[in-house]
């Protein structure tokens, strides 16, 4: 297959970064069309790229001549319609998380892909492409540390975007920890408990920030997650696996350390796009290479559905204060090996 023509739906922060990456970093693909209701934003995102058709509607972008695949980076509530439209056209898709905000919608997407009879959807859980996370996965899979007993996770952001809600700390931010835990451990999450620490005085009014979540897995491993989206000092993601015969920790630091005048100062990334820049590059390269080879690999629509179901249980646990079971539908045959 020759150069892959890609339609990008959404030209906001994430969409613009994918447009830049496809246009200037990843070989074998080019941006053919972009859809965003904000025409000026779309024009800024494609500045310097030739031959990109701009649209305000997703369907028009998907139907642009030369489109062979789709990147969905539009607002979460638009993901289901975009995915179903792509499946109707038999177009491979890389969809940013969450795949769909609610489990019922995610199941509709699963059913539509199962009706096609082959995988077309990959979900943008880019931590699976991060060098540290991949090394941790290799260590756990090798088994020399013994069975994983606990997974400690930290997820901190400088500040939350406008309109961010207490539920979105789980459904949007912690969705990465949900997928990472499922992938690292090879287990489904079966129950969630959500605790409410004292609210930070730097959090917007009405936002429960930070939060502390406890996940239980099918084989008894416990996963705890500190989510703090208004920490102000930087973007941090850490993970430590505690096993029977040892532990492994990632995320200790990525920035340059400057020692001067009796002090040591370490740079802290201020944004997830900076911290996971290499992971996003690797994710897009792998996706483009696979699609050009006629395949779709990486996190599946089942992974997207499972993360959404766990997040929904987490939101219910936060609201009720009660340990909440995760309810998963039977896994379709299409996803038996993922």
Query: Per-residue pLDDT tens for 266-304?
Result: 767 776 767 889 999 999 999 999 999 999 999 999 999
Q: What is the pLDDT of residue 262?
A: 78
Residue 264 pLDDT exceeds 80: no
> Domain of 247?
131-272+306-325
Shared domain for 99 and 166, answered yes or no, is no
For the chain, how many residues are written?
Answer: 338
Shared domain for 166 and 70, answered yes or no, is no
Shared domain for 224 and 237, answered yes or no, is yes
Residue 259 pLDDT exceeds 70: no
Shared domain for 154 and 98, answered yes or no, is no
Shared domain for 120 and 226, answered yes or no, is no
Shared domain for 148 and 232, answered yes or no, is yes
To the nearest whole percent, how much of the chain has pLDDT over 90? 89
Shared domain for 115 and 164, answered yes or no, is no
Residue 62 to residue 72: CA distance in whole angstroms: 11
Average pLDDT over residues 30-54: 96
Single pTM value for the model:
0.93
Shared domain for 248 and 145, answered yes or no, is yes
Shared domain for 193 and 78, answered yes or no, is no
Shared domain for 84 and 225, answered yes or no, is no
Shared domain for 101 and 123, answered yes or no, is yes
Residue-averaged pLDDT of the chain: 94
Residue 140 to residue 160: CA distance in whole angstroms: 33
Shared domain for 179 and 52, answered yes or no, is no
β-pairing, 29-35 vs 4-9, is parallel
Q: What is the pLDDT of residue 260?
A: 57
Burial class (CB in 10 A: 0-12, 13-18, 19+), 11: buried
Domain count of the fold of the chain: 2
CATH code at 214? Answer: 3.30.360.10
Question: Is 172 inside any structural domain?
Answer: yes
CATH code at 80? Answer: 3.40.50.720
């Amino acid at each position: 297959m020759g150069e892959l023509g890609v339609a990008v739906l959404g030209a906001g922060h994430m969409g613009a970064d994918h447009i830049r990456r496809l246009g200037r970093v990843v070989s074998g693909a080019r941006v053919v069309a972009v859809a965003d209701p904000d025409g000026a934003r779309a024009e800024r995102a494609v500045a310097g790229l030739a031959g990109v058709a701009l649209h305000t509607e997703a369907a028009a972008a998907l139907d642009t001549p030369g489109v062979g695949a789709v990147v969905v980076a539009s607002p979460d509530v638009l993901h289901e319609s975009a995915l179903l439209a792509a499946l109707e056209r038999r177009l491979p898709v890389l969809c940013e998380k969450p795949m769909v905000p609610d489990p019922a919608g995610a199941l509709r997407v699963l059913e539509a892909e199962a009706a096609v009879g082959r995988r077309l959807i990959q979900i943008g859980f880019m931590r699976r492409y991060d060098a540290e996370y991949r090394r941790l996965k290799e260590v756990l899979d090798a088994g020399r540390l013994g069975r994983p007993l606990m997974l400690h996770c930290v997820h901190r952001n400088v500040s939350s975007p406008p309109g961010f809600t207490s539920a979105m700390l789980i459904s949007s931010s912690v969705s990465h920890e949900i997928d990472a835990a499922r992938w690292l451990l090879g287990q489904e999450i079966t129950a969630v408990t959500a605790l409410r620490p004292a609210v930070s005085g730097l959090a917007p009014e009405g936002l429960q920030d930070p939060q502390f979540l406890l996940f239980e897995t099918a084989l008894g491993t416990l996963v705890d997650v500190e989510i703090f989206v208004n920490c102000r000092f930087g973007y941090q993601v850490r993970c430590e696996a505690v096993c029977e015969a040892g532990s492994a920790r990632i995320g200790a630091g990525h920035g340059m350390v400057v020692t001067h005048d009796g002090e040591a100062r370490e740079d802290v990334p201020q944004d997830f796009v900076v911290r996971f820049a290499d992971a996003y590059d690797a994710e897009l390269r792998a996706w483009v290479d696979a699609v050009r080879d006629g395949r779709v690999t990486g996190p599946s629509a089942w992974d997207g559905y499972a993360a959404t179901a766990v997040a929904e249980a987490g939101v219910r646990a936060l609201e009720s204060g009660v340990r909440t079971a995760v309810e998963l539908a039977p896994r379709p045959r299409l996803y038996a090996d993922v």
